Structures are given as C-alpha cells and as structure tokens.
C-alpha cells in the first residue's frame, strides 16, 4: 500500500512526493498493470533526467503500444467521418500518454454491416470474451469487440453507454458535446471532462472492487480546475438516475486523494460533496461489495421514478447477469 501511495504521489506531481522512497520493482509492476507507467516515467524525469532502467524500458514499451493505437484511432476517425457517422473515442485522450483498449462510441444501433463499414480499412477479427458472462453483458450494452491491427482490442459501442446499455440518452448527449482534441501527434473526437467523469460513474457503478489508478491519475488535474462544471455533472447525474453511483464514485476518488495528499487539500469542493451526498471512502477499493446492491437499488428506483422504462428494464437485468457470471466461475467486472 505504501508503494502504491508513493507511486501515485509521484505520478500526479505531488510537491511532497519523494521518488527515492519508491520500490522501483513494485512501482513498475503497479504502474504497468494499471496503465500509468508512461505518466509515471514522465513525472520521474522532472526529478532526474536519467530514468531507472526498469522504468525506462517499461515506459518505452508502453509508449510504442500507445503510438500504434493512435495510428488505429486516426484511421478509424477518417473512416467514421467518411461514412458520416457521429463518433467519439472514450479514454484515448484521457489516458494519454498511456493507453487502454480503444473504445469507439458511434451514433448507430448495432449491426454487422456498420461494423464492417467502420473496419473496412483495418484487418480485424471478432474477439472472444475473456471472462464468464461477458458475452451477455456486452450484447446488452451494444458493444462489439474486435482484434484489429497490431493485435489491439477495439470496442465499438453502438449508441449506448452503461454496463447494460441503459444510457442511450447519455450516449447522444456525450456525442453532441464531444469535440476534436489533440492526442500526441493525432487528433480525435473525445468527450468533455464532465462527460468522461459521468462515463466512469456509469461504467464503474457495478464493477468488482478495483483500485482504478488510471482513473485517479486522470481525475486529479481534470477535477481540480476551476473550469470544471460541477453543476452539469450534478444535473446530468440526476436526470440519468445515477446520483447514488456518482456519490459513491466521487467518494472513492476523494478518499484516494486524501490518502495520497495526506489530507492537505480536497479534490472535490466541499459544497459539491455536500450537494451530491459524497462521503470520502477510506479504502482504495471501489466499490465495497456490500454497497453495490444498495447503489443498484437506488439507481433503479431513480430510473423508474424518472419514467425511463427501457433503461430500467435493462438495469433490472444486473442481478441475473451477476448471478450467471458467478455460476460460471467468474465475477461481473
């Protein structure tokens, strides 16, 4: 835990961070496993021009992967534009200079024809789910998964967001507000910071406990600006019926930030925490297993009260998907 906290302090540029306290082997493993190794290496360079060989090698390998993914993003962007398909890449700009699997949201219902049109200029094959229950969950969410060039995973989200595709309206809203952003030497349509936070809230609401360190490394600079529109986040989370999930997830981010910063400052303004009912989590695992079903029940109730019947029907499938995953020897994630 101490290495994790020290690594995060360095990665987010905390002024009291001490790189000499890092266990380099463990830090490299944690940062690589959580997709923040390039960010860690870049920050370490501000302390010393010469990187430890272990960190330098891992960061160089991750940077090469990121560049290959940006090449694919460029090609997909051109193809979607040529097809006249409104689209946005989720997580590409936010994770840079690191990367994760490429997530492409398109304003189109699922169809094999649409996927073939988007992937026309790329070698691709259907990717098999890696865990029990994933096939059903992806089908509900309108996600198709492909292995494309360089054996990189591409997830195409067809007009829906949320773990079970319960947020079609939010998908449209995100696409309407998306703008072209520079990502290294490339550029692509990406969500606003506020919409990306809401995406994380809807995506993480029913996930198994996990540190999500890459989320935190993004959140510190993004949420700490005076330009961040908390009114929009609150209003949209209310309209989507995810205020309970928003309070829980923001509490996770605030709790990690207090552990990392030594409670010297807050990540989220006190007025926002009070308004949204946020309580900072003491643990770095999110969410606590006992809290998952409470959050689900609150979200389902809010969705029903808003009269969003299709969304409620999809959300109501969560216990069945989770049960089928457990029976198959896995967990919903």
CATH of residue 159's domain is 3.30.460
Q: What are the φ and ψ backbone dihedral angles of 17, each rounded to 5 degrees?
A: -70, 145
Would 79 be classed as within a structural domain?
A: yes
Domain total of the chain = 3
Task: Decide: helix, strand or coil at residue 53.
Answer: helix
What is the pTM (predicted TM-score) of this model? 0.87
The domain boundary residue, chosen from 191, 224, 239? 191
Residue 6 sits in which domain range?
Answer: 1-51
Residues 237 and 300 in one domain: yes
Would 58 be classed as within a structural domain?
A: no
pLDDT > 90? residue 251: no
Would 56 be classed as within a structural domain?
A: no
Q: What is the pLDDT of residues 304-330, one digit of tens each?
A: 777 777 777 777 767 666 655 554 444
Residues 185 and 215 in one domain: no
Residues 297 and 198 in one domain: yes
Residues 95 and 180 in one domain: yes
What is the average pLDDT score of the chain? 85
Residues 173 and 198 in one domain: no
Averaged pLDDT for residues 217-245: 92
Buried b (16+ CB within 10 A) or exposed e, 299-320: bbebbbeeebeebbebbebbee
Would 63 be classed as within a structural domain?
A: no
pLDDT > 90? residue 281: no
pLDDT > 90? residue 196: yes
Would 60 be classed as within a structural domain?
A: no
Would 152 be classed as within a structural domain?
A: yes
């Amino acid at each position: 835990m101490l290495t994790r906290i020290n690594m995060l302090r360095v990665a987010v540029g905390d002024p009291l961070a001490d790189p000499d306290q890092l266990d380099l082997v463990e830090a490299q493993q944690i940062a690589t496993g959580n997709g923040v190794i390039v960010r860690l290496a870049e920050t370490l360079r501000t302390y010393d021009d010469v990187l430890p060989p272990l960190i330098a090698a891992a960061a160089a390998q991750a940077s090469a992967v990121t560049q290959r993914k940006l090449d694919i993003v460029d090609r997909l962007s051109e193809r979607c534009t040529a097809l006249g398909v409104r689209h946005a890449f989720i997580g590409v700009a936010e994770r840079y200079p690191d990367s994760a699997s490429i997530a492409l949201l398109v304003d189109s219902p699922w169809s094999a024809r649409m996927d073939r049109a988007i992937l026309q200029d790329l070698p691709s094959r259907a990717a098999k789910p890696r865990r029990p229950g994933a096939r059903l969950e992806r089908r509900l969410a309108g996600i198709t998964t492909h292995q494309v060039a360089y054996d990189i995973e591409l997830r195409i989200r067809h007009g829906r967001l949320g773990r079970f595709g319960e947020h079609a309206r939010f998908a449209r809203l995100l696409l309407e507000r998306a703008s072209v952003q520079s990502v290294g030497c490339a550029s692509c349509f990406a969500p606003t910071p506020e919409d990306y936070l809401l995406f994380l809230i809807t995506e993480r609401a029913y996930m198994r406990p996990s540190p999500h360190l890459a989320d935190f490394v993004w959140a510190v600079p993004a949420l700490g600006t005076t330009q961040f529109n908390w009114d929009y986040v609150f209003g949209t989370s209310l309209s989507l019926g995810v205020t309970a999930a928003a309070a829980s997830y923001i509490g996770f981010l605030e709790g990690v930030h207090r552990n990392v910063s030594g409670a010297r400052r807050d990540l989220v303004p006190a007025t926002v925490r009070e308004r949204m009912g946020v309580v900072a989590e003491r643990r770095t695992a999110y969410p606590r297993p006992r809290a998952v079903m409470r959050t689900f029940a609150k979200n389902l109730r809010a969705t029903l009260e808003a009269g969003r019947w299709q969304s409620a029907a999809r959300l109501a499938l969560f216990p069945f998907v989770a049960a089928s995953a457990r029976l198959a020897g896995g967990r919903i994630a």
